[in-house]
């Protein structure tokens, strides 16, 4: 089984180092966010991208924040309530089978999550099934080389591996762009059925 992030270490998810390396607002712009978007944030953690996305999409948008960890989701709900943000809905998902709530998504984001998934093909197939053709998908993953922080090298995905996985799941060939020192941002679109 792949290593799953320990919620006890959640302070790492919103550190000054991470903000310097991967500023959330700038990253969301690169991912293709627009006002009014309905966003699927898979592996939302404590809301590193969830909250900036909720502000950026404005009152007509919605963020569906999904995570394995009830602890992380409780933190998202608490922060949303104390911030007066009502456009975020949280959903706890099971490790074994990804169940995605139905919504008119316009952008899906998977950040630092795919390497933790055991059955990546099934996970991406579930994401693909939840999205209509033309919906954008942005995947952020660790580069496949040793870095001072991050998951073990054997758990990381190469650009070739991600290209194959995404295309098999029904997405266009992803464009890859460096993101900070340790990550790559892959952007693609759900294809129309052939």
Q: What is the CA radius of gyration of the chain?
A: 15
Residue 194 maps to a domain: no
Q: What is the pTM of this model?
A: 0.91
Residue 1 maps to a domain: no
Q: How many separate domains does the chain show?
A: 1
Q: Which residue has the tokens 């994401």?
A: 127
Q: What is the pLDDT of residue 1?
A: 41
Q: What is the pLDDT of residue 19?
A: 67
Residue 121 maps to a domain: yes
Residue 179 maps to a domain: yes
Among residues 26, 22, 41, 180, the alpha carbon closest in space to that of 105 is found at: 41
- Its domain, for residue 167, covers 7-189
Residue 16 maps to a domain: yes
DSSP-derived secondary structure letter, 49: T
- Looking up residue 161, the CATH number of its domain turns out to be 3.40.50.150
Among residues 141, 138, 147, the alpha carbon closest in space to that of 112 is found at: 141
Residue 70 maps to a domain: yes
How many alpha carbons fall within 13 Å on the CB side of residue 80?
26
Is residue 179 within 8 Å of 150, Cβ to Cβ? Answer: no
* CB-based contacts of 51, cutoff 8 Å, min separation 6: 79, 80, 83, 85, 88
Exposure letters 126-155 (e unless 16+ CB within 10 A, then b): bbbebbeeebbbbbbbbbbeeeeebbeeee
Residue 2 maps to a domain: no
Q: What is the pLDDT of residue 8?
A: 61
Residue 100 maps to a domain: yes
pLDDT in tens, the chain (194 residues): 455 555 566 555 666 776 677 889 999 999 999 999 999 999 999 999 999 999 999 999 999 999 998 988 999 999 999 999 999 999 999 877 889 999 999 999 999 999 989 899 999 999 999 999 999 999 999 999 998 888 899 999 999 999 999 999 999 999 999 998 899 999 999 998 87
């Amino acid at each position: 089984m792949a290593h799953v992030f320990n919620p006890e270490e959640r302070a790492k998810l919103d550190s000054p180092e991470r903000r310097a390396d991967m500023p959330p607002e700038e990253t969301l712009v690169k991912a293709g966010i627009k006002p009014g978007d309905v966003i699927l944030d898979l592996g939302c953690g404590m809301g590193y991208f969830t909250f900036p996305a909720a502000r950026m999409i404005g009152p007509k948008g919605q963020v569906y924040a999904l995570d394995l960890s009830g602890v992380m989701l409780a933190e998202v709900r608490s922060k949303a309530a104390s911030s007066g943000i009502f456009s975020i809905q949280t959903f706890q998902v099971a490790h074994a089978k990804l169940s995605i709530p139905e919504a008119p998504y316009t952008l899906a984001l998977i950040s630092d999550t795919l390497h933790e998934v055991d059955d990546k093909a099934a996970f991406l197939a579930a994401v693909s099934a939840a999205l209509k053709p033309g919906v954008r998908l942005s995947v952020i993953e660790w580069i496949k080389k040793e870095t001072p922080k991050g998951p073990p090298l054997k758990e990381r995905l190469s650009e070739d591996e991600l290209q194959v996985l995404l295309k098999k799941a029904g997405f266009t060939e992803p464009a890859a762009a460096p993101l900070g020192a340790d990550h790559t941002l892959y952007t693609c679109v759900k294809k129309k059925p052939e």
